[in-house]
Amino acid sequence: MQTPLYDFMKAYAESGFTRFHMPGHKGKKFVGYEDIDITEFYGADSLYEADGIIAASEQNATNLFGTKNTFYSAEGSSQCIRAMMYLAMINKKGTSRPKIVAARNVHKSFIYAATLLDFDIVWLWPKGDIRSLCSCEVSRDDLEDTLRNMEETPAAVYITSPDYLGGMADIKGLSEVCHKYGTILIVDNAHGAYLKFLTPSLHPMDLGADICCDSAHKTLPVVTGGAYLHISKDAPESFGEYAKYALALFGSTSPSYLIMASLDLCNKYLSESYKERLEKTIGVIEDCKEILKTNGWQLEKTDPLKITISAPDGMTGLGIADILRRNRIECEYSDPEYVVLMATPENNEEDFSRLINSLGKNERAYSDKISLPIKNTESVMTVRNAVFSEHEMISSKDGYGRICRELTVACPPAIPIAVPGEIISEDMVKLFEYYGVENINVVKQAGF
Ligand SMILES: Cc1ncc(COP(=O)(O)O)c(C=O)c1O
What CATH number does residue 395 fall under? 3.90.105.10
Q: What is the pLDDT of residue 387?
A: 97
Task: Supply the CATH number for residue 32's domain.
Answer: 3.40.640.10
DSSP structure class, residue 423: B
Residue 18 lies in a domain: yes
Whether residue 289 sits in one domain with residue 257: no
Whether residue 279 sits in one domain with residue 262: no
Please report the sign of the dihedral spanned by the C-alpha atoms of residue 32, residue 35, residue 39, residue 43. negative
Distance 359 CA to ligand 1 centre (A): 28
Whether residue 199 sits in one domain with residue 103: yes
Q: What is the pLDDT of residue 447?
A: 83
Q: What is the pLDDT of residue 413?
A: 84
Q: Of 300, 326, 359, at which residue does a domain stop?
A: 359
Residue 148 lies in a domain: yes
Ordered strands of the 306-310 beta sheet: 298-299, 306-310, 338-342, 333-334
Whether residue 279 sits in one domain with residue 215: no
Residue 287 lies in a domain: yes
Q: For ligand 1, what atom is nearest to the CA of residue 413?
A: 16
Q: What is the pLDDT of residue 448?
A: 82
- Domain containing 333 equals 275-359
Distance of CA 374 to the CA centre of its chain: 21
Residue 372 lies in a domain: no
Distance 81 CA to ligand 1 centre (A): 9
Distance 48 CA to ligand 1 centre (A): 22
Whether residue 267 sits in one domain with residue 204: yes
Residue 376 lies in a domain: no
Cis check for the bond before 345: say yes or no (omega within 30 of 0). no
227 lines ligand 1 (CB under 6 A): yes
Q: Compute how many other C-beta atoms are within 10 angstroms of the C-beta atom of residue 5.
A: 28
For residues 197 and 275, the answer to whether their CB atoms sit within 8 Å is yes
Whether residue 205 sits in one domain with residue 94: yes
Residue whose Cα lies nearest atom 9 of ligand 1: it is 76
Distance of CA 123 to the CA centre of its chain: 18
Whether residue 258 sits in one domain with residue 279: no
Q: What is the pLDDT of residue 201?
A: 98
C-alpha closest to that of 70 among 82, 85, 86, 54:
54
Residue 40 lies in a domain: yes
State the burial class of residue 339 (Cβ atoms within 10 Å of its Cβ: 0-12, 13-18, 19+). Answer: buried
Ordered strands of the 211-214 beta sheet: 69-73, 227-231, 211-214, 185-188, 156-160, 99-103, 120-124
Whether residue 79 sits in one domain with residue 203: yes
Distance 122 CA to ligand 1 centre (A): 21
C-alpha closest to that of 209 among 227, 226, 196:
196
Q: For ligand 1, what atom is nearest to the CA of residue 160?
A: 1
Whether residue 399 sits in one domain with residue 336: no
Angle at 264 (CA atoms; ends 262, 266), nearest 5 degrees: 70
Residue 408 lies in a domain: yes
74 lines ligand 1 (CB under 6 A): no
Whether residue 185 sits in one domain with residue 40: yes
Whether residue 208 sits in one domain with residue 185: yes
Q: What is the pLDDT of residue 430?
A: 93
Residue 22 lies in a domain: yes
Q: Of 230, 247, 271, at which residue does a domain stop?
A: 271
**Average pLDDT, consecutive stretches of 10 residues, N- to C-terminus, the chain (448 residues):** 97 98 97 97 97 98 98 98 97 91 97 97 93 93 97 96 97 98 98 98 98 98 98 96 98 98 98 97 98 98 98 96 98 95 97 98 90 91 97 95 87 88 95 92 90
109 lines ligand 1 (CB under 6 A): yes
Q: In degrees rounded to 5, what are phi and psi of residue 314?
A: 80, 5
Task: Supply the CATH number for residue 341's domain.
Answer: 3.90.1150.10
Whether residue 191 sits in one domain with residue 238: yes
Q: Of 309, 343, 359, at which residue does a domain stop?
A: 359
| Number of domains, the chain | 3
112 lines ligand 1 (CB under 6 A): no
Distance 27 CA to ligand 1 centre (A): 31
